[in-house]
Amino acid sequence: MSVEPVVSSRSPFRTYDARLEPIAEKVFAGERLSFDDGLTLYGSSDVLAVGWLANHVRERMHGDVTYFNVNRHINPTNVCVAACRLCAFGRKKGDPSGYTMALEEAWETAASGYSEAVTEFHIVGGLHPDLPLEYFLDLVSGLKVRFPKVHIKAFTMVEVAFLARRAKLTIEETLLKLREAGVDSMPGGGAEIFATRVRSFICDHKIDGDEWLNTARLAHKMGFRSNATMLYGHIENNEDRVDHLLRLRNVQDETGGFQTFIPLAFHPENTPMDHLPVTTGLTDIRQIAVSRLLLDNFAHIKAYWQMLTPKIAQIALRFGADDLDGTVIEEKIYHDAGAKTPQGMTRKELCRLITEAGRVPMERDTLYHAVTRTEDSFVVAV
């Protein structure tokens, strides 16, 4: 590898990895990066140059603006038929540490734990063998009655497909019922890694990669927006990561329905893969940067602070990320898997992270409309 710095004539971009130079030229020209470019970005030892390019794209798209939201996570049940090797949250039916919220309890949870009005409920849970679709419809419609202004981002593509199968409905019929009940959009979970070799080991009972993508495609065509995730840092390799990102990019070309991409670092504690090490800071930062560079048709890359830690998430704001996610209030999935991050953060704490990264905080709702607020209410600019 050359140790001479390569200096582009068109920018202050510098790298000691000459393989990045043609990629930089494409980035400056707004050209799409290829599968091989993705592998080069993952393989380059010049992580700062990769990050510089991602930051360039991030600033071209968003300037200094950095988004966050005031949200609350609700996990109605941890009982799950899937028993994924990646997961520390799910419990088999009958396990004494399994729980399922009564509807009243879920509605009370929604209102608890935070003094400022939330703009979003983020609802995901286990694939419960017995809870009927009606439970979830009642849960959502009850929330809408009690909190009519709050956006409901609920149920991953995996949950939607599972509920459809249990109710003997098509995915489309299920999505229509969820929409009628009050679901506004969908979170990005359950995508994991699409490549069959990996997926069949880490989550063999879930829908496969194509089914996840087809469910998202259908939801987008029905007018729902959703997010997308990728779980990295377990048994996947760089080819699997690039494949995952480009398959998302292809669906996004077709539908435009994805809002945000969220790379999720695998937390091994209390999972059947607890022999694996946790990801390192540079792996996390590089993942943010490569995501920003390959997903040219995604508006937002989220550095989910609960998963990355607030410190790494803050640094990610200089490596391609433009969103930190939210106040969250109570997080179960990562904390069951050993996360040491706080359960929630205040608006003030999120704004401090963003401001000290030299960025400009902007509170958003789920659909990225600006939010202004008084002490106990909020207004969404549409």
351 is in an annotated binding site: no
From 49, 70, 88, 157, residue interacting with ligand V47 (rule: CB under 6 A): 88
What is the number of the residue whose Cβ is closest to ligand V47?
A: 189
Our CB check for ligand V47 shows the closer of 38 and 188 to be 188
From 53, 57, 79, 87, residue interacting with ligand V47 (rule: CB under 6 A): 87
The single-letter code of the amino acid at 195 is A
Alpha-carbon torsion angle 338, 315, 343, 159, nearest 10: -70
54 CB neighbour count, 10 Å cutoff: 27
From 182, 189, 209, 344, residue interacting with ligand V47 (rule: CB under 6 A): 189
State how far Cα 295 lies from the chain centre: 14
From 38, 51, 125, 188, residue interacting with ligand V47 (rule: CB under 6 A): 188
The closest alpha carbon to 27, from 7, 62, 56, 47, belongs to 56
Instruction: By CB under 6 A, tell whether 364 contacts ligand V47.
Output: no
Instruction: By CB under 6 A, tell whether 171 contacts ligand V47.
Output: no
| CB-based contact 254:214 (threshold 8 Å) | no
What is the spatial distance between Cα 228 and Cα 187, in angstroms, rounded to a whole number? Answer: 7
Q: What burial class does residue 215 get, using C-beta atoms within 10 Å of its C-beta: 0-12 exposed, 13-18 middle, 19+ buried?
A: buried
In terms of phi and psi (left: phi > 0; alpha: psi -120 to 50; beta: otherwise), the region of 190 is: left
Return the residue matching tokens 């071209």.
60
- The site string for ligand V47 over 114-143 (x = CB under 6 A, - otherwise) reads ----------x-------------------
**Span 208-237, contacts to ligand V47 by CB under 6 A:** 227, 229, 231
The total number of residues written for the chain in this structure: 382
Number of residues that bind ligand V47 (CB under 6 A): 22
Task: For residue 168, report the phi and psi dihedrals to the nearest 5 degrees.
Answer: 55, 45
Q: Output DSSP code: residue 79.
A: B
Instruction: By CB under 6 A, tell whether 271 contacts ligand V47.
Output: yes
| CB-based contact 53:25 (threshold 8 Å) | no
From the list 28-36, 51-59, 86-94, 98-106, the region that binds ligand V47 by CB under 6 A is 86-94
What is the spatial distance between Cα 341 and Cα 289, in angstroms, rounded to a whole number? Answer: 22
From the list 17-25, 42-50, 110-118, 183-191, the region that binds ligand V47 by CB under 6 A is 183-191
80 is in an annotated binding site: yes
Instruction: By CB under 6 A, tell whether 363 contacts ligand V47.
Output: no
From 143, 242, 264, 350, residue interacting with ligand V47 (rule: CB under 6 A): 264
Our CB check for ligand V47 shows the closer of 222 and 276 to be 276
From the list 107-115, 133-141, 261-269, 345-353, the region that binds ligand V47 by CB under 6 A is 261-269
Q: Which residues carry a binding-site annotation?
A: 80, 84, 87
Q: Which residues carry a binding-site annotation for [4Fe-4S] cluster?
A: 80, 84, 87
